[in-house]
Amino acid sequence: MNDRDYMKRALELARQGRGYTSPNPLVGSVIVKNGRIIGEGYHRRYGDKHAEVMAIENASESVEGATLYCNLEPCCHTIPEKKTPPCSLRLIREKIKRLVVATKDPNPYVNGNGIQMLRRHGIEVEVGLLAEEAAELNAPYFKYIQTGRPFVHLKIAQSLDGRIATSNGHSQWITNQSARRLVHLWRATYDAVLVGINTVLKDDPSLTVREVAGRNPYRVVLDERLQIPNTARLLTDGLQERTLIFTTLPPDHPRVLESQKQEIQVLSVGADEHGWIRLSEVLERLANLKIASVLVEGGSQVFTSFIQERLFDKISVFLAPMIIGAGINSVQEIGTEQLTDALKLRRVHIEVIDQQALVEGFLDERIIFEKALEKI
């Protein structure tokens, strides 16, 4: 095994924390001495030990003189709300000889300071191995820690000709089970899943994680006029304490008061000029709840608003090899007059999942990748 293999293993460990570490990052760590792994760890859950410390404490022998692999720069700061002491100090104390990290931590409190501190203490530090993969893994954290706003990922499942449903609204199932499994994995990873009220009225979705093992996300509904029926699955399936309804009705509106009496979590926000919920305000409110990542699952109006306002970070389009013809378009008017106005995705990635094409890209990946991949 070489450096690359050990980093791959660290990333594999990091992924095991998926869904439980937010708003902290996913971090895995491997300690190698005399060509053999002597300790492994990952950040299991927000508030728990960091990966590096867990790897040190799990080590089968002294880590003095060893190499530590970690997908993220070790922390080096102490601030009141921080739950654990700085890992950098621990690495120095344990006399780790060499550190290999994939990316810098763009957290303004860290941002290269951890690496500098370790170097000043004579630890050999290499940065950048499997950096792209590591940055993709922690994209939500990188966005949130630098902007204070959640990472927004639009997930669209459509026919080849860009329809998410027939004219009659039939949409189950455009995608196949392999695509659905992947979406459930995302649900288990993201802090919240968001849909519009039309999707609730039409499909009565549960938005839970069923096709894979994992925890359920918050479920957020954009519901201007508070039309969600009391009988909706999102309000009756026993997980309703994780359901948040945003409305433009004022807090003292009788329907809002009535819902709150029934312990439905309703949040009043402002409306934009079309009367739609103001998305920037929704994202701010979610950030205040420490929701650092949101998976947007539809419908057309919701996708269109996030795209038109450029309030998303990443988009993933599953394309089923079928043609619907006239039906509901995945995206409506976003103000494109010339082709040069069209929204061009960046860092495009295309893969084939069981006869479906998955096309993904970023709106503006700089906030995710620029600082994290900076040379140091």
**Residues assigned a catalytic role:** 52
Give the shortest CB-170-to-a copy of itself separation in angstroms.
Answer: 4
Q: Are the C-beta atoms of 140 and 22 separated by less than 8 Å?
A: yes
Q: Count residues binding a copy of itself (CB under 8 A).
A: 52
Helix, strand, or coil (residue 318): strand
Long-range residue pairs from 251-256, CB within 8 A, at least 24 positions apart, any chain? 253/226, 255/226, 256/226
Residue nearer to a copy of itself on the CB measure, 1 or 348? 348
Choosing from 78, 167, 177, 230, the residue that interacts with a copy of itself (CB under 8 A) is: 167
Q: What is the per-residue binding string for a copy of itself in 174-213, x denoting contact by CB under 8 A? A: x---------------------------------------
Choosing from 122, 241, 338, 375, the residue that interacts with a copy of itself (CB under 8 A) is: 338
Give the shortest CB-219-to-a copy of itself separation in angstroms.
Answer: 24
Cα distances (Å, whole numbers) of residue 280 to 252, 274, 291: 22, 15, 14
* Cα angle value 91/95/98 (rounded, 5°): 75
Residue nearer to a copy of itself on the CB measure, 213 or 323? 323
β-bridge pairing 36-42 and 67-72: unpaired
Choosing from 16, 240, 301, 329, the residue that interacts with a copy of itself (CB under 8 A) is: 329
Choosing from 92, 201, 289, 357, the residue that interacts with a copy of itself (CB under 8 A) is: 357
Give the shortest CB-313-to-a copy of itself separation in angstroms.
Answer: 14
Half-sphere exposure of 198 (CA within 13 A, CB side): 13
170-184 burial by CB neighbour count: b if 16+ within 10 A, else e? ebeebbbeebbebbb
Give the shortest CB-269-to-a copy of itself separation in angstroms.
Answer: 24
Residue 8 in tokens: 């791959």
Residue nearer to a copy of itself on the CB measure, 24 or 159? 159
Give the shortest CB-348-to-a copy of itself separation in angstroms.
Answer: 4
Site for a copy of itself in 287-326 (CB under 8 A): 304, 307-308, 315, 317, 319, 321-326
Q: Are the C-beta atoms of 275 and 224 separated by less than 8 Å?
A: yes
Residue nearer to a copy of itself on the CB measure, 287 or 345? 345
Task: Report how far residue 31's alpha carbon sits from residue 66's, in angstroms, rounded to the nearest whole number.
Answer: 7
Residue nearer to a copy of itself on the CB measure, 311 or 359? 359
366 exposure class (CB count in 10 Å sphere: 0-12, 13-18, 19+): exposed
Q: Footprint of a copy of itself on this chain (CB under 8 A)? A: 158-163, 165-168, 170-174, 304, 307-308, 315, 317, 319, 321-327, 329-339, 341-345, 348, 350, 352, 355-357, 359, 361
